[in-house]
Structure formats: structure tokens, C-alpha cells
Chains A and B, each alone.
Chain A
Amino acid sequence: MNRPKLIDENGLRADGRRPDELRKIRMEVGVLEKTDGSAYIEVGGTKIYAGVIGPREVHPKHLELPDRGVINCRYHMASFSVDERKPLGMTRREIELSKVIREALETVVFLEEFPRMMVDIFVEVIQADGGTRTAGITAASLALADAGIPMADLIAATAVGKVEGQLVLDINELEDKYGEADMPVAMAPNLNSIVLLQLNGRMTVEEMFKGLEMAQEAIKKIHGLQTEALRNKYKVEPEGSEV
């Protein structure tokens, strides 16, 4: 099959975006009833639900810690979320992403505030079109905030890729598949700290630093959307519009 052209003569990408342009993002908080906190996110064609349950008693009990809480995280893709066959249970990739997402969130959650308790975080990918771990961690952070879990900061994330030699922001599935590099980045924006950083493929050191700059700018915007989504849940409708 012919390799698709990812960047055209005008410098625009296959989906018409400029190299530094994010896909359309939609976020909503408090979307699931049976969780303590939840969020839904769409980044282009990627759709993800995140749910948080806790703090609650640790099961199995031998995993509890006497002086701090524990976080469990499950990143999982529904079998219908991808084109190719994805087996039902947890693949090695999902196990790895569950770990990196958990480790990123652990850096900002105040675990000492809930000793002997656990917080379960579920990231369920419903439709995958690139950037699932970054959209997933963005949604998980919102769900934690919705659940009232004490945290130092929200976490927002995006991925920078390299396509036909050029750095591009927020790659989709096509660009991920046929591009030369994929670098997911997650940050705690107010702490100005990177909590997740991975790289698939090859980049020079200069490209990596330039990519981090692009990511940082985008992450500020995504963080703004997160704050808006949280505030929207508690906004007051003007009189007369309540049923």
C-alpha cells in the first residue's frame, strides 16, 4: 500500500491542520453516576471515559500502606476502539500505559491525606485515533478533581510527532503509524513540571527540545479547557432557565 502523503505543498497536514495545531477538543466532567468522579474527553477522533472510585478501603488488605494511600490505574482499550483486532483482556501495551499513567498521577496526588485507603482510576478508550495515553491522562486528572481527591495540580498532556522530517503537534493515528517519531508529554502546568515523557522513534536533541516547547504551549491551552470543564459543572444558570 502506498505511503500516504502526510504534509502537502502548503505545509498542511493530511487532515488540513497546521503543524502546530491541536485537534478539536471536547471535555465534560461528572458524566458517570456510579463513580466518585468522572470525565469524558474527545481529541479529534479519540474518545475516552475516565472514572475514579475512592478513597476507600484497600482490597486486598495486604497492599494497604499505613502512612499513605495507594493509587491503582487501569488503562484499557475497548475491543471496538481500533481497526485491527484487539484482544479482550490487558495487552502488554495496556499494562505499560497503566503504569506510566499511574506514576504520572502519583506525583501530584497528596497520598498522605488518605492513609490505608485506595483510589481506583479507570481510563477506558472507546475510540482510538492517536494520542490515547495523553487524552487518557488528561481525562483521568479531571476525574480525580471531580472526585475531590486532594492534588497539587491538574495534569494535561499531548503528543508531539515527527512527520516527513517536520515536528507536528497532536498526531493522529495515521501520522503515528507512518511518521518517524512520537513523543507523548504530560505536565503539571502550575508546577511547571513534566510528569510523563516517552519517545518512540528517533529525534535529535534539538528536535526533542523544540518538541517540548510546542507541547508546553499546547498543554497550557488544554489546561485552560480542563479548568473550564470543572467550573462549568458548578456554574449557576440564570434565573428562569431551570426546569
Chain B
Amino acid sequence: MQYFRENEVVVPGQLLTDDTRKRGFGTYVRDGKVYASTTGIVKTINGGVRVIPVSGRYKPERGDKVIGIVADVKPNVVEVDLGGEMVAVLKLPERESPPLNLDIGDCIYAEVKSTGLRGILLSNEGLQKIPSGILVTINSAKVPRLIGRKGSMIQLLRRESGCDFWVGRNGLIVINGPDPSSEFAAIAAINLIDREAHKPGLTERAIQLLRKIKGGSGEQA
């Protein structure tokens, strides 16, 4: 028996269902019932009940692609700042120099290999250095909305702004555009999504905003 409406805002401790097989992210089980463990939007996905958090700091999961800034290079590890006072590491094989010749201050795009009691470990495979661009930070809970279903939102932003985006699941984003006004339009759209991710009609408003800014700069040129 389901005790919620789809896409309803739920609060911690709210009863969701009696079917404990359906427990998903953002829920917990007690006495044979499933309750919400966080404030968020409740959705049924693939038969499981999940609560998508609407706020909160980034919680790394295996397989997440993140963006970080190299904070320190030590003999065995490279420490990477993921924002939100969170530090991840890249393990270095003995006596080898850091991959991609990473140095302090470099910006990287990497996959989370493991999390847990021993800290956040990033994978050396697929590691990329981001040479340049503008770094923007948003709330990590909004990143799925920024990417959109099957990448639809981020593709739209690419098309309408003319910029390239690197998107980290931790909320760090790097923008590269052909000119400052395109980059400005991209940043404005990203901030709009950060503020209003939970409201419907977001796609329309993002398109309108981008066209307004780019249209304006076009007239001046």
C-alpha cells in the first residue's frame, strides 16, 4: 500500500509504504514499514520508492564523474579538493610521477572508484585534465536536473549558449565558450537551474533566458 502521491515533497519520518522490498535511496525500514530519511521528492522508479534529496552536500557514490582541483601532491597520493570541504585522493604507484603531470592548482575530471571508511578514492583510468575555462559551483542536488533526462537539458544549454560544459556530480562545472557573452549566458542559465530546479517549466524558462541574453548581445555586435 502506497501512502504518498508521486512527486510529493516528503519529510524525514514520513511513512511511504508497507512493502519493504521497495526501499530505495533516501528511505529506511523500521518495523516492516518504509519511511523517508531525508527531505525530498518521492518517486517510484523501477518499482522502488526513492526520495530524491532537494538539498544537502555532495555524497560521493562509486561511478560518479566529478571535477576537482589538485590541492597537494605527495609521494604516494595526489589530494584533490572536490568542494564542500571534501577531499579525494588519487593513489600513485610507487616512485612514479603523478599521472598527466598533475600539479597543485590543476583542474581534473575523474571517476569515483570507491568511497567509505577509508576516504574517497578516484580512479586513475579515464582521468582528464581540464586545461582552461570558468569554474562554477552549484548545489550538487541540482546536478541531475542540470543534466536532464538522458542529457536533454545540458544538450539544450550547449546548443543555445554555444559553450562546452564539463559537469561534475559534485556540483562543480567548467564552461568554455567562444566569447565572454556566450559564457555569461551559460552561467546565467546554470544559476537559474540551481535556484529553480524543483519548479516545472524550467526548460522553457532556461531557453527564454538564453535567447534573451544571446539575442541582446547579438544586437550590440
Contacts and interface: CB of A to CB of B under 8 A. Distances in A.
A151 B119 CA distance: 22
Interface of B: 9, 11-15, 26, 28, 30, 35, 37-41, 53-57, 59, 84-87, 116-117, 119, 141, 198-201
A110 B37 contact: yes
Contact of B28 (A37, A110, A148): A110
Interface of A: 36-37, 54-57, 66-67, 108, 110, 113-116, 145-154, 188-191, 226-227, 230-231, 234-236, 239
A226 B54 contact: no
A177 B9 CA distance: 41
CB-based closest 10 A-B pairs: A148-B56, A153-B13, A190-B13, A56-B85, A151-B12, A148-B55, A150-B37, A148-B53, A145-B39, A234-B9
Nearest to A59: B85
Contacts of A114: 59
B155 to A, nearest CB: 25
Nearest to B54: A234
A139 to B, nearest CB: 15
Given A145-B12, A150-B28, A230-B11, 10 more contacts: A36-B56, A114-B59, A116-B119, A145-B39, A146-B39, A146-B55, A147-B56, A150-B38, A226-B11, A234-B54
Main secondary structure of the interface of B (DSSP, over half): loop
B94 to A, nearest CB: 26
A151 B14 contact: no
B9 A230 contact: yes
Contacts of B13: 108, 151-154, 188-191
A152 B28 contact: yes
Nearest to A227: B11
A154 B38 CA distance: 10
A36 B57 contact: yes
Given A56-B57, A110-B28, A110-B37, A236 B200 contact: yes
B64 to A, nearest CB: 16
A55 B85 CA distance: 9
A223 to B, nearest CB: 9
Nearest to B37: A150
A67 B14 CA distance: 27
B37 A37 contact: no
B15 A56 contact: no
Contacts of B38: 145, 148-151
